[in-house]
Amino acid sequence: MDRFNHFEYLENDCKSIDNYNKGKISSLDAALEPVLHDINNLGHYLERAKHDRHFPSEHGLTEDESAAVYLFTDDWVEKSLHPVLNKALQSQKKETLKPWRGFLRLLHAAFNKLPTVNQTIWRGLPIDVVAKLEENQELVLSCITSCSLSPDIMVHFLSEKSVLCSIKPLNSKDIQRYSFKTAYKEVVLLPGTRLRVKSKKSKNKNNEPKIIFEEISQVIYDEEIDHGSKEGLDKSQYSNLQNLGEYFT
């Protein structure tokens, strides 16, 4: 399962995307109109998402918000939506992201309503990425990063070119009830999430993590946000939403 193994990051903060904090949330159909013909059979899978989405939502998601999460997690034989969207996010280019603004607003609205997870989560990590990482190295996720609450599920998704890693998050979002496959127990880490390599093992068994990450909690001051007072704030809880606001809203 590619989205549980693909891993994109930056060594510095994500660049701001200007003018993405304006505009109202549109319908899912309208949100995907700019990219409808860029992804094979997207129209068909859009209709399936609207039919099979989890609704009514116990978390207050609208039908379109629930369908947007479902569609993001859907995998089909041809080019699926999520790798195309994540490639656009990875580019950090305003023009590349412009067609995705409506869909990202829907995802942002959905994620804001979903429960936060801070228990250990699991995913695959490409071996070429493992080779580059060192203990105590810090990085910033540049895409929507899929993980699972279950290591037993994740080991079945590993390929010959990936290994198991674990992450101790602070602000991951539980989307398992809204995912295409609820059995995957899926949670997501959002663009702007800051991670540190807590440990890296030279050898490990298949069911043990090769690398252990932890989400970083940093203290910033109000003046860094709005030039206010120097009252300390938890950056991990603020910066992720700030980055999401720049990308999604």
Distance CA 50, CA 45 (A): 9
CA distances from 128 to 137, 140, 240 (A): 16, 17, 27
**pLDDT value of position 212:** 96
- Angle (CA) 102-105-107 rounded to 5° is 115
**pLDDT value of position 28:** 98
Q: To the nearest whole number, what is the mean pLDDT of the chain?
A: 86
**pLDDT value of position 202:** 76
CATH number of 2-12+116-219: 3.90.176.10
**pLDDT value of position 24:** 82
Given the DSSP bridges, would you call strands 211-215 and 194-200 parallel, antiparallel or unpaired? antiparallel
Given the DSSP bridges, would you call strands 194-200 and 145-148 parallel, antiparallel or unpaired? unpaired
Q: 90 is written with which tokens?
A: 């990875």
Q: 103 is written with which tokens?
A: 């869909």
**pLDDT value of position 221:** 35
**pLDDT value of position 208:** 72
The parts of the chain modelled with pLDDT lower than 70 are 14-23, 204-207, 218-249
Half-sphere exposure of 244 (CA within 13 A, CB side): 24
Distance CA 221, CA 228 (A): 8
With residue 168 as reference, give the H or E element that holds it: strand 162-168
